[in-house]
Structure formats: structure tokens, C-alpha cells
Amino acid sequence: MGMVIHGLKGKEFSKSNWNWRPLWNYCREIAEDIISEELWESGHYNNGAGLNADDSKKLGERLMKYIADGRAMQFQEDYQKDSDYPFDVEIVEEFALFCIESGGFKIC
């Protein structure tokens, strides 16, 4: 089973649950001002929750900032010490670019 994130401009971002859950949790951790508790919880299900264009772009830009300054890589290293779920900075970058270009998205 996987998650498909539909960009409002037509692009899609698709990952297995194994990849999506840690990514979405990381997004919440670094962007509590963008991703509410309710949205974070909904984001673990295929129920159409998502972000509008402005918030999606803000999230993507924040993710790129954390990649550029090394915080995402540090998170990856720490995360992989005690988790069975994978976390990969390359996937973070892929999602960041998707967020910036998507025009907003829905998790379906």
C-alpha cells in the first residue's frame, strides 16, 4: 500500500507507506506552523487532506533550507539509528520540489 499525493497542477508524488510516514512526520516536526495536528494525522490516511498552494510552497522551501544547511542529513543519521522505517534526504528533496511546484496538494 502506498500514498499518492496529487498536486493541484496535475503532478503526483507517490511513495510506499514505509517511505511516506517518516517523511510526513519529519514535515510536521519542522513545520508545525504549516501542518496542524489535524492535518498531520489526516496525512497518514488517503482521505484527501492537504495544503493550499501558499502553504505547500512554504513547506517545500523549508525542506530545501533544511537540506541545504545539513539539518535534514543530521535527522536522517539520527533517525536510522533506531527506526525500522527508512528516511532518505533524496526523498525529502523530491517532495520539497514537488511541494514548490504542485500548486497545493491532496493526499489520496
For every residue of 36-91, DSSP letters joined together read -HHHHHHTTTTS--EE-HHHHHHHHHHHHHHHHTTHHHHHHHHHTTS-SS---HHH
Among 65, 51, 37, 42, which residue's Cα sits nearest to residue 7? 51
Taking only Cα atoms into account, the Rg of the chain, rounded to an integer number of angstroms, comes to 13
What pLDDT digit, counting tens, does each position of 56-99 carry? 999 999 999 999 999 999 999 999 998 988 999 999 999 999 99
Task: Please count the other Cβ atoms lying within 10 Å of the Cβ belonging to residue 69.
Answer: 10
Rounded to two decimals, the pTM is 0.96
